[in-house]
Amino acid sequence: MLSTHPAGVQSGRQFLPKVTDASPNQELLPLTARINSSDRLEIGGCDVTTLVEQFGSPLYILDEDTLRNACCQYREAFKKYYPGESQVLYASKAWSCLAVCAIASQEGLGIDVVSGGELYTALQAGVSPDKLYLHGNNKSLEELKLAINSGCTIVVDNWHELRTLGHWSSVIGNSDTNDPVRIMLRLTPGIECHTHEYIRTGHLDSKFGFDPNQLDEVFAFVSQHSALNCVGLHAHIGSQIFEQQPHQDLAGVMVQWLDKASSYGLQMQELNVGGGLGIRYTEADDPPSIEAWVKGVCTAIQNACVTQQIALPKLLCEPGRSLIGSACVTAYTVGSSKTVPGIRTYIAIDGGMSDNPRPITYQSVYRAVVANKMSAPATQTVTIAGKHCESGDILIKEATLPPSEPGDILVVLATGAYNYSMASNYNRLARPAAVVVKAGEANVILRRETYQDLMRQDCLPARLSSET
């Protein structure tokens, strides 16, 4: 909901969830967020200021209830609107770690992975291989071998990979069962949506997927290789999408492709329509709810199947950001400040582009609150600067906040997606810790890196050592 406070006097209260059963992607803060009697922000029953005192800052704070709620809303919406079989996959590139994969798996979700590292993480988290799908436009032989040996499904992206698998799978097969290798084919649908150019992946000029003009040749190739079990088709049109029409258009295109595959004797049972549902980063953002998005996709697939006169396929989707984005915040400690008269005031925090590279990479906009002053009127417009040696290290250019001072705890909202997963050690900063909070309990899910961690992979040749 848009704030009803006059401009310049908002407080942190305006960002609190309006209803606890809301769609998480439409909220700026996790669903459990509240203000306690000390006028401090609480998430998952934990005082954010106390969490920083205990675990340090910067600190990623993941609300388990919000993540589980989003998983449940996707799962239940498919049961409600799709009469056929369905499977929701968590796009773990948004944030891949053991705890997040385990929570998603416990909620009945599969995992979409895009590298050997993400696949290994999901396997170590206990995710069943039959619910793992490996993506990527340039998978290494090692990654393909890990996927084949683990028994997960490989989403084939291009001719090089398809030919490699066609030859290799006939030689090694699945080392445990000797079953054909399960694959899906990723196709580029030529459907564009209004989002950042770097996260549009469905238009024809994209590094991902087979061109639709190659369909006949691709289907013919697969039909001639019995060691490949092609179970379905995949397409993804982008990320942070608010429009519903592109996904409805995608459904019609994909069902036509599925029908075409049958003419080559390919009995494909699965359609993966990708993900991409956006979240609310600012008051101006107005994404569809999870249920509305699922309903639109399910209806479009059913209508397309009626038109093509084919049976309903198993329907898959792979949300990432809309599952975890709003479930997490990042807490920082305020440090120095600088006022440039007549221009702006800078407020510096103890993190920045190394723990959240999205503002400098995508010009992404965020909102922030001061966790220890939640009801204080926001009477200042400041620029929140990171601590890196980089002029562009700006998290928020125009943040409306209460007057802040060193030691205040500044919290940036909706940082669950593509923050930790894109974090770096720029300037040799150690990556932050992450905790998961629930019912007043906080548990570390990612330890804070140390200087020793930064040095762990360094090697100093003997001739460069000062001791020689």
The answer to whether 157 and 129 are in contact (CB under 8 A) is no
pLDDT band for position 202 (cuts 50, 70, 90): very low
Tokens of 314: 């198993």
The answer to whether 247 and 277 are in contact (CB under 8 A) is no
**Secondary structure class of 445 (helix, strand, coil):** strand
**Secondary structure class of 20 (helix, strand, coil):** coil
Evaluate whether residue 458 is within a structural domain: no
DSSP character string of 262-331: HTTT----EEE----B---SSTT--PPPHHHHHHHHHHHHHHHHHHHT-PPPEEEE---HHHHGGGEEEE
Q: Is 390 annotated as a binding residue?
A: yes
Give the active site residue among 46, 72, 101, 389: 389
Q: Is 461 annotated as a binding residue?
A: no
| CATH number of 376's domain | 2.40.37.10
Lowest mean pLDDT among 13-17, 373-377, 449-453: 13-17
| Residues 358 and 403 both lie in one domain | yes
The answer to whether 399 and 383 are in contact (CB under 8 A) is yes
Give the position of tokens 């998961």.
Answer: 436
Evaluate whether residue 415 is within a structural domain: yes
Lowest mean pLDDT among 23-27, 172-176, 232-236: 172-176
Q: What is the pLDDT of residue 192?
A: 59
Please give the tally of structural domains in the chain. 2
| Residues 280 and 415 both lie in one domain | no
Widest CA span in the chain: 78
Q: What is the pLDDT of residue 195?
A: 46
Evaluate whether residue 73 is within a structural domain: no
Cα–Cα nearest to 413, from 390, 396, 433: 396
Q: Is 319 annotated as a binding residue?
A: yes
> Which helix or strand (DSSP H or E) is residue 217 part of?
helix 215-223
How far apart CA 59 and CA 447 sit, in angstroms, is 10
Residue 200 predicted with pLDDT over 50: no
DSSP-derived letter for residue 148 is H
Q: Is 351 annotated as a binding residue?
A: no
Query: Tens digit of pLDDT for each residue in 282-324?
Result: 999 999 999 999 999 999 999 999 999 999 999 999 999 999 9
Cα–Cα nearest to 418, from 331, 353, 374, 468: 353
Q: Is 276 annotated as a binding residue?
A: yes
Q: What is the pLDDT of residue 125?
A: 98
Q: Is 320 annotated as a binding residue?
A: yes
Would you give the end-to-end CA distance of the chain in angstroms?
66
Strand duo 59-63 + 328-340: pairing: antiparallel
pLDDT > 70: percent of the chain: 91
Last residue of a domain, one of 252, 286, 319: 319
Evaluate whether residue 200 is within a structural domain: yes
Q: What is the pLDDT of residue 415?
A: 98
Q: What is the pLDDT of residue 201?
A: 44
Query: Tens digit of pLDDT for each residue in 334-344?
Result: 999 999 999 99
How far apart CA 93 and CA 257 sit, in angstroms, is 27
| CATH number of 230's domain | 3.20.20.10
Residue 245 predicted with pLDDT over 60: yes
Q: Is 440 annotated as a binding residue?
A: no
Average pLDDT on 69-98 reads 98
**21: containing domain:** 12-59+325-443
Cα–Cα nearest to 257, from 274, 233, 273, 224: 233
What are the phi and psi torsion angles at 293 (to 5°)? Answer: -65, -45
Residue 198 predicted with pLDDT over 60: no
pLDDT band for position 172 (cuts 50, 70, 90): low
Mean pLDDT of the chain: 91
Query: Helix 245-262 and helix 215-223: axis angle, to 10°?
Result: 50
Give the position of tokens 């079953």.
Answer: 179
pLDDT band for position 169 (cuts 50, 70, 90): low
Cα–Cα nearest to 82, from 271, 328, 250: 271
Query: Tens digit of pLDDT for each residue in 129-164?
Result: 999 999 999 999 999 999 999 999 999 999 999 999
Q: What is the pLDDT of residue 10?
A: 74
Residue 199 predicted with pLDDT over 50: no
| Residues 312 and 201 both lie in one domain | yes
Tokens of 67: 């993540």
Q: What is the pLDDT of residue 20?
A: 64
Q: Is 447 annotated as a binding residue?
A: no
pLDDT > 90: percent of the chain: 81
**Secondary structure class of 150 (helix, strand, coil):** helix
| Residues 375 and 430 both lie in one domain | yes
Query: Tens digit of pLDDT for each residue in 410-422?
Result: 999 999 999 999 9
Respond yes or no: is residue 72 known to be catalytic. Answer: no
